[in-house]
Structure 1
Amino acid sequence: MKLPESQVAVLNAASATDETPIDRLATEADLKPETATQAVFELRDESLLDVTERESVEYELTEEGRAYVEADLPETRLYRAAVDAGADEDPVQMGQVIGAADLDGPEVDIALANYGRKGYGDIESGELAADPDADAGADPEAAALETLAGGEGADGIDDEVLDQLVSRNLLDRNERTVRTVTLTDAGVTALMEGVETAETVDRLTPEMLTSGAWQDVAFTEYNVEADAPEVQGGKTHVLRQTAERVKDVLVGMGFQEMEGPHADADFWINDCLFMPQDHPARTHWDRFALDVPPIADLPDELVDNVERAHRAGVGEDGDGYHSPWSEDFARAIALRGHTTSLSMRYLSGTEVGELDPPQRYFSVEKVYRNDTLDATHLLEFFQIEGWVMAENLSVRDLMGTFVEFYEQFGITDIQFKPHYNPYTEPSFELFGKHPTTGELIEIGNSGMFRDEVLEPLGVEHDVMAWGLALERLAMLTTGAEDIRDLHGTLADLDFLRGAEVTY
């Protein structure tokens, strides 16, 4: 039997009893990995080799993971500091324990988030209690990090522990396909009978034709049924397609686009919306505060008007919140949790001057929220913000706007549900039916701005407003069942490549 040189080398390096990985086979045959791989599959097609494929998962510590091997996990350090402070008997001030635990920057939030999850104790009203029966020395996540750092591999480590460490960015999970090779009976027979190296060429040249050398060589066989390399051309991301279509639809309905900062003063993000400063959504648990100097250029008169609305309300029947209000907090900067901060800037006249009705404005911009990741929530997503200022607006006008808007996307089964917002009254949520699962998905929130929002801004007309989720609109139009398939580190590339170009 005559075979090409690379195939002869691979056949001689393979074993009939032991599975040999292709990369090791390439080394023993003194071939490039890609050449060895091609030869292996050609020999498999001739039934001389068997190829077995297995999925291999390997774990590698990240830089943060290696640091915690040396210094212990933040929650472990917090628990030990709590016990040393006597929190296993009586609760102690959280700040005292955090200082003693030598936690720095983001380690504080990491420690607090995992402290309760692991049953180390409770955190309530700024005080921390420690469970005396907890065993921080037996923490399975810490043990797993030490095992992997020692080079022992992930065998024997619980999958849930590995998944948790990956989600915490302490481990990198690397998945790859390992192919191993064994000689078939036909391959063994061929070697016993003798395999010779054939001089092969993969193309016919002018020199071979003129010299007649083509008559003495063997031409490489081509498998015309083999899969051709898949070429993935570039295309506009499905979310960008949806965003551009939304913009065109709203411009066609007479709206103008708003622009503004992603990082803004809490004043614009929440205070102007009549959100009390002690509202749970304004704590460090739910907002991304930035460690930067506070904003200085807020309109003084507007600040006074907003503070007065918070403290005393608006109008004869206004009552306000009777809760703390701090101008320092209002000037503090955070990533915006909604693009309604842009609406406040425009309605107040700060951005484009005083506006006379009728006015229609919108934005399609990114917002940031400390949500729990699931099929319909991300830490950052795109919001379709919009508002209309006019005389004698009603909820019917607002609902009619949504009906007209969503009809442009083939969505005609919008449902409305009454809701409460601190900044709109009346308020309602919007739901759309998923085309694949039939499940109702919340796609937005809306309402009529309250007097407590409009009066401090100097607006004397009705304003209806909404915030819609771009990703959830894309889910309804593409059939995606998980928002994480659309963008982010877990995006489904096959889904994105195969999604129909709709715009």
Structure 2
Amino acid sequence: MQLPEAQVAVLKTADADTDRPITELAEEADLKVETATGAALALAEEGLLSVTEREEATTTLTEEGREYVEQGLPELRLYEAALEAGADDEPVSLGQLLGEAGLDGPAVDIALANFARKGYGTVDSGEVSATADADPDADDERRALDALDAGETVEDTELLDQLESRGLIERQESTTRLVSVSDDGVTALMEGVEVAETVGQVSPELITSGEWRDVEFAEYNVEAEAEEPAHGREHILRQTANRVKDVLVGMGFKEMDGPHVDAQFWINDCLFMPQDHPARTHWDQFDLESPEEIQDLPDELVERVRSAHLEGVGEDSEGYHSPWEESVARSLDLRGHTTSLSMRHLSGFAKGDLEPPERYFSVEKVYRNDTLDPTHLLEFFQIEGWVLAEDLSARDLMGTFTEFYEQFGITDLDFKPHYNPYTEPSFELFGTHPETGEIVEVGNSGIFRAEVLEPLGVEADVMAWGLSLERLLMLMYGFEDIRDVHGTLCDLELLRDVEVVY
């Protein structure tokens, strides 16, 4: 019997008594895995080989998971520090325990989120009480991480789901093809198998020399399954962002842009956010070590903003009874919202003085020190917009939202009154999730206060908003977890197949 060279190599390498992985046969036969796979499938079609498939799941620790194996889970470190400090008898200050446990940054939120969930104690008004009879050695998550680190198998799927949701493990599924020689294959080998003098691929040399006319070409099974190539394509989030831009341009808006790293002056101070506001701490923002501050700020505007904070604007405004330091205003952060772009434009700093009516928008990335969950990310896209005109009202703002969201098939918006330091009146926007029926917050909005506009030199009204691009996507397509389209948990098949609806 004559067969192509690759088929002969695979047939002679395979065993009759043992199922062997195709990768092992390929290595032994000095073939590429895909070449050996094609040969094995062709031999199986002829009944000379038996090919079976086995699904395998592998679980590995992430970098964070390995860190917790070495240092301990944050909640366990907090519990151990609490016991040492006597929190099983009397409540102890949370700040004291965080320092003793060596917890800071995101690890603090992780520790607090799991401390009570696992029954290690309670946190109330900044004080921690520890459960005396809790058993950290019996912590299922801790034991599972240790087992996986040691190369052992963990069978509890719910436990693995929990570890995966915390980003401590990665699970992957793969298909292994196992090959063995059939009875007919054994017979063929006993009778003798030779390499057929066939050509499997046309080369430039065959064509230029004319030898292609005399050679015998190998047969191809055009009905055989082939791997579908995974080509690149525009991300659904980018598609939606472009659609948002098209809609807003169609509504008469111009696009604005600006720096991702900016002074707190533009990010917060111009918005009449007091410098001791909780949202301006490192718990909510990402600040920069180098460079430490911005140099280019308009002195007159800085003085007017400072005066608004300390003294207020007009007869009915008193400002804030709290300190205001220019050094704080000059410090640099990753922007927590794109309203910093609005401040730059409304002040005339970006493009010069503006005369009403004007409409501007941006669809840009912002950064917040949030806890990752199905509706929150550390960085996401914000749809910023504002209208500068005379005699604007909340009804104008609500009408703008109604027109905008109708372009995406969303007609069930709800509006809820809200407080912002920089707008009055203010309200939040909510939509109904198409799959769960839950009410989802999609944005915040309002009319800028005099304390914002007068220092900027703006005499007309300005209505403004910040909307979430990712949550718009959730309402459009029914995603229940924002991480379905972001990061390591995203569904690649979904990203390849879903198209933005126009």
When normalised by structure 2's length, the TM-score is: 0.81
Change (3 A) 1:301 1:82: farther
Q: What is the distance in 2 between the residues matched to 1:333 and 1:117? A: 37
Matching of residue 199 in structure 1 with residue 196 in structure 2: yes
Match runs of 1:66-465 below 5 Å: 66-103=66-103, 107-108=107-108, 110-150=110-150, 152-153=151-152, 155-156=153-154, 158-188=156-186, 190-191=188-189, 194-202=191-199, 214=215, 219-275=217-273, 281-282=279-280, 284-291=282-289, 293-295=292-294, 306=305, 314-318=313-317, 332-371=331-370, 373=372, 376-406=375-405, 409=407, 411=409, 413=411, 415-422=413-420, 423-430=422-429, 442-465=441-464
Q: What is the distance in 2 between the residues matched to 1:326 and 1:120? A: 42
**Helix, strand or coil: the match of 2:488?**
coil
What is the Cα deviation at residue 359 of structure 1? 2.2
When normalised by structure 1's length, the TM-score is: 0.81
Q: What is the distance in 1 between the residues matched to 2:211 and 2:301? A: 91
What is the Cα deviation at residue 479 of structure 1? 7.0
What is the Cα deviation at residue 386 of structure 1? 1.0
Structure 1 contact 347–457 (Cα < 8 Å) conserved: yes
What is the Cα deviation at residue 477 of structure 1? 6.0
Change (3 A) 1:137 1:436: closer
What is the Cα deviation at residue 42 of structure 1? 0.9
Q: Which amino acid aligns with 1:98?
A: L
Match runs of 1:487-498 below 5 Å: 487-498=486-497
What is the Cα deviation at residue 143 of structure 1? 2.5
**Helix, strand or coil: the match of 1:489?**
helix
Q: Which amino acid aligns with 2:446?
A: G
Change (3 A) 1:269 1:224: same
Q: What is the distance in 2 between the residues matched to 1:349 and 1:210? A: 75
Change (3 A) 1:285 1:11: same
Q: What is the distance in 2 between the residues matched to 1:102 and 1:481? A: 35
Change (3 A) 1:140 1:265: farther
Q: What is the distance in 2 between the residues matched to 1:194 and 1:352? A: 86
Change (3 A) 1:437 1:208: farther
Structure 1 contact 265–333 (Cα < 8 Å) conserved: yes
**Helix, strand or coil: the match of 1:70?**
helix
Q: Which amino acid aligns with 1:14?
A: A
What is the Cα deviation at residue 41 of structure 1? 0.9
Most deviating of 235-244 and 85-94: 235-244
Q: What is the distance in 2 between the residues matched to 1:210 and 1:239? A: 52
Change (3 A) 1:463 1:104: closer
Q: What is the distance in 1 between the residues matched to 2:300 and 2:445? A: 28
Q: Deviations over 1:111-152 (max 9, x none)?
A: 4554444333333444333322222333333333332332x3
Change (3 A) 1:158 1:211: closer
Change (3 A) 1:65 1:477: closer
Aligned counterpart, 2:46: 46
Q: What is the distance in 2 between the residues matched to 1:236 and 1:263? A: 26
Change (3 A) 1:88 1:325: farther
Q: What is the distance in 2 between the residues matched to 1:327 and 1:129? A: 41
What is the Cα deviation at residue 360 of structure 1? 1.9
**Helix, strand or coil: the match of 1:389?**
strand
Change (3 A) 1:314 1:84: same
Q: What is the distance in 2 between the residues matched to 1:26 and 1:367? A: 49
Q: What is the distance in 1 between the residues matched to 2:106 and 2:470? A: 29
Structure 2 contact 2–193 (Cα < 8 Å) conserved: yes
Q: Which amino acid aligns with 1:261?
A: P
Structure 2 contact 61–148 (Cα < 8 Å) conserved: yes
What is the Cα deviation at residue 300 of structure 1? 6.1
Q: Which amino acid aligns with 2:80?
A: R
Q: What is the distance in 2 between the residues matched to 1:383 and 1:212? A: 64
Q: What is the distance in 1 between the residues matched to 2:193 and 2:322? A: 91
Change (3 A) 1:176 1:291: farther
Change (3 A) 1:199 1:67: same
Change (3 A) 1:189 1:279: farther
Structure 1 contact 54–178 (Cα < 8 Å) conserved: yes
Q: What is the distance in 2 between the residues matched to 1:480 and 1:52? A: 36
Change (3 A) 1:470 1:391: same
Q: Report the aligned-residue RMSD.
A: 4.0
**Helix, strand or coil: the match of 2:397?**
helix
Q: Which amino acid aligns with 1:382?
A: F
Structure 1 contact 90–129 (Cα < 8 Å) conserved: yes
Q: What is the distance in 2 between the residues matched to 1:435 and 1:105? A: 35
Identity %: 63
Q: Deviations over 1:216-274 (max 9, x none)?
A: x6x52210212455345544333333333433443454433322222334443344434
Q: What is the distance in 2 between the residues matched to 1:323 and 1:105? A: 26
Gaps of 5+ in 1: none
